[in-house]
Amino acid sequence: MAKIIIHQGKAENPQKLPDICPFNAIEYTENTLSINSACKMCKICVRKYPAVFEYLEEVQPQVDKSVWRGIAVYVDHVEGVIHPVTYELLGKAREMANKIHHPVYCLMMGDAISHKAEELRYYGADRIYVYDKTELKDFRIEPYTTVFEDFIKKVQPCIVLVGGTTVGRSLAPRTAARFRTGLTADCTILDVQENTDLDQIRPAFGGNIMAHIHTPNHRPQFATVRYKIFNAPQRSKIPSGEIVFEDIPASRLKSRIRVLEVRKKEKVKSIEDAEVIVVAGRGVKKEADLSMIRSLADRLGGMMASTRPLIEAGWTDPRLQIGLSGRTVKPKLIITCGVSGSVQFVAGMNNSETIIAINTDPKAPIFDVAHYAIIGDIYKIIPALLKNIPQKGIHDVL
């Protein structure tokens, strides 16, 4: 890390120096100059008064990257039923591993899951590490983190990919902290350099920029990715790779959390699984007008979704929101109605097979990702579509 040091004895009229900082980061109290947390490292003070302010670049710790090898994927599952995001991450891991000639590993932990791990051999993993212990029956953060730590110390993968699920969002940062390494959450793009540095790209500052994040001086490199961001590979007809059963003393798996009861939530239809989605945006003038959006979705045999403003207005259920603060979807067809296309929204749907956008503004950002653009008023276009699409559904129309 860099820092700016102050040579107190070389400052003439030090009480005037705080005025040179546009961020109010220089303070003068009790005859002493100091720099507070508002400093942006712009180095204006260094350029104007080099005798007083000195920019010092600290020597970064170096890691021997050669001893860290392989890309590991955490297997997210419930009672052995593997979450689809795991297969998507395996596909991306294999793509990156081929680029740097590294193996792909899987880490699966739980109780009575050994036979379930066999399925992972059909998705390109070179080695599947299984921790099958009764103490791991229910997810508890302490023993799961201990197992994750044990796996990394033994295998030393240079990259670890975790699904952005409820479990993954809890487990990944806790494990990364044990290795004092970086973690980038909700990545939308991943790539790897020849020196095994991971290129992690995600929207930042409310989606106003795409942050390109590196962890060059620490290993392993952690990243979480939401479901439906990457494509899952085709299931191979022939299994490959090997399953390695690991053991860990039960004494290390103690937890202060006691699971009293596990209640399964009632399964509801999710927009993540819908093949056709019609999205209501800010162009919808009032809540009652959502009925025409629902009618179009029903007519096409799909589901209605919405953008964040409609959720905040209380017009739609939060589970129907698409975007970084909602759900990520990848349907065969998505029709956006009055959606401007903010970065946050686009990041949650730009992998859809066919995107049709309806908006009155020809310069709306949504048209940059749409395959078909309809410039017009949704209050004229949607009723016209409803007249021309028969009740029997889109599959018969196509």
My answer on whether 79 and 50 are in the same domain is no
Strand partners, 373: 357
My answer on whether 179 and 319 are in the same domain is no
Count the residues in the chain. 398
My answer on whether 158 and 243 are in the same domain is yes
Q: Within the chain, what is the greatest distance between any pair of CA atoms?
A: 84
What is the CATH number for 124? 3.40.50.620
Can you tell me the mean pLDDT for 137-154?
Answer: 97
DSSP states of 291-321 as a string?
HHHHHHHHHTT-EEEE-HHHHHTTSS-GGGB
- Which amino acid, residue 283? G
Dist. CA 36–CA 50, nearest whole Å: 19
My answer on whether 217 and 307 are in the same domain is no
Is residue 254 very low, low, confident or very high in pLDDT (cuts 50, 70, 90)?
Answer: very high
- Whether 274 has a pLDDT exceeding 70, the answer reads yes
pTM above 0.85, yes or no: no
What is the CATH number for 302? 3.40.50.1220
pLDDT tens-digit map of 153-205 = 999 999 999 999 999 999 999 999 999 999 999 999 999 999 999 999 998 87
The stretches of 101-140 forming alpha helices (DSSP H) are none
Can you tell me the mean pLDDT for 290-301?
Answer: 95
Dist. CA 359–CA 223, nearest whole Å: 35
- Weakest-pLDDT range from 255-264, 289-298, 303-312: 255-264
Nearest to 179 by CA among 213, 140, 139, 221: 221
Q: Is residue 242, in this structure, part of any structural domain at all?
A: yes
My answer on whether 174 and 73 are in the same domain is yes
- Which amino acid, residue 238? I
Q: Is residue 22, in this structure, part of any structural domain at all?
A: yes
My answer on whether 188 and 171 are in the same domain is yes
Q: Is residue 197, in this structure, part of any structural domain at all?
A: yes
My answer on whether 79 and 126 are in the same domain is yes
My answer on whether 225 and 91 are in the same domain is yes
Dist. CA 243–CA 322, nearest whole Å: 38
Q: Is residue 261, in this structure, part of any structural domain at all?
A: no
- Whether 207 has a pLDDT exceeding 80, the answer reads no
Residues 6+ apart with CB under 8 A from 298: none
My answer on whether 71 and 52 are in the same domain is no
Can you tell me the mean pLDDT for 305-327?
Answer: 93
- Weakest-pLDDT range from 77-91, 187-201, 287-301, 383-397: 383-397
Question: What is the pLDDT of the chain when averaged over all its residues?
Answer: 93
Is residue 305 very low, low, confident or very high in pLDDT (cuts 50, 70, 90)?
Answer: very high
- Weakest-pLDDT range from 99-108, 253-262, 389-398: 389-398
CA–CA distances in Å: residue 28 to residues 5, 11, 186: 14, 11, 41
Considering its fold, how many domains does the chain have in total?
Answer: 3
Structure tokens given for 390: 């028969």
Looking at residue 397, its pLDDT comes to: 45
Q: Is residue 263, in this structure, part of any structural domain at all?
A: no
Nearest to 307 by CA among 332, 342, 331: 342
Q: Is residue 259, in this structure, part of any structural domain at all?
A: no
Q: Is residue 136, in this structure, part of any structural domain at all?
A: yes
Q: Is residue 325, in this structure, part of any structural domain at all?
A: yes
My answer on whether 242 and 275 are in the same domain is no
Domain span holding position 22: 2-57
What is the CATH number for 28? 3.30.70.20
Dist. CA 330–CA 320, nearest whole Å: 14
